[in-house]
C-alpha cells in the first residue's frame, strides 16, 4: 500500500513539481488547491503526511494547520509547511500554527525527497510503500 501524501498548494507549477517528485518515488498524491479543500481532503483521505503551502486562497496555511490541530484525529500527523525562502518569518508562524517542520521554496528537485522523508512517520518506508 502506498503512503498517501496530501499536497495543499495553489500554484500550478509547484503542484506539478511536488506531485511529479512524490509519484516518481512511489507515493500516492492527493491534491487540494485552497485551504478549505485541503481540510476536507485531509478528513476524507486520512493522509500519512500533509505538505502545506502558506499563501493559499480561502484560508491561509496557518489557519489550515491550526484547524487541523484542533481535531484529535490530526494531532500527530506531520504537517510540513512549504515556505518561501524569501519570507523567513513564515517559518516561525508556521511552527506556531502547529506545523511539524518546513521545506523551503523554490523546491529543489535534487534534495526534496530526502528532506521530505525526514518528516515521514517511522512506519512509512523510504519509497512510500509499507514494507
Residues forming contacts to Mn ion in the complex (CB under 5 A) are 10-11, 53, 55
| Least distance between Mn ion and beta carbon 14 (Å) | 7
Considering the complex, state which of residue 12 and residue 72 has its C-beta at the smaller distance from Mn ion. 12
DSSP state of 73: G
| Least distance between Mn ion and beta carbon 109 (Å) | 19
Please choose, from the candidates 50, 19, 54, the residue with its C-alpha nearest in 3D space to the C-alpha of residue 34.
54
| Least distance between Mn ion and beta carbon 18 (Å) | 12
Considering the complex, state which of residue 77 and residue 82 has its C-beta at the smaller distance from Mn ion. 82
In sequence order, which residues have a C-beta less than 8 Å from that of residue 56 and are 6 or more positions away?
A: 8, 9, 10, 34, 35, 38, 64
Q: Which residues pair with 103 in a beta bridge?
A: 82
Considering the complex, state which of residue 11 and residue 117 has its C-beta at the smaller distance from Mn ion. 11
Amino acid at each position: 500500500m502506498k503512503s498517501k501524501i496530501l499536497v495543499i498548494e495553489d500554484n500550478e507549477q509547484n503542484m506539478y513539481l511536488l506531485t511529479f517528485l512524490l509519484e516518481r518515488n512511489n507515493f500516492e498524491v492527493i491534491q487540494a488547491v485552497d485551504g478549505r479543500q485541503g481540510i476536507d481532503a485531509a478528513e476524507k483521505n486520512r493522509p500519512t503526511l500533509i505538505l502545506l503551502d502558506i499563501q493559499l486562497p480561502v484560508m491561509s496555511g496557518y489557519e489550515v494547520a491550526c484547524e487541523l490541530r484542533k481535531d484529535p484525529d490530526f494531532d500527530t500527523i506531520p504537517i510540513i509547511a512549504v515556505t518561501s525562502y524569501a519570507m523567513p518569518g513564515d517559518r516561525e508562524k508556521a511552527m506556531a500554527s502547529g506545523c511539524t517542520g518546513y521545506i523551503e521554496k523554490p523546491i529543489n528537485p535534487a534534495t526534496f525527497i530526502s528532506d521530505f522523508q525526514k518528516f515521514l512517520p517511522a512506519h512509512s518506508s523510504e519509497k512510500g510503500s509499507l514494507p
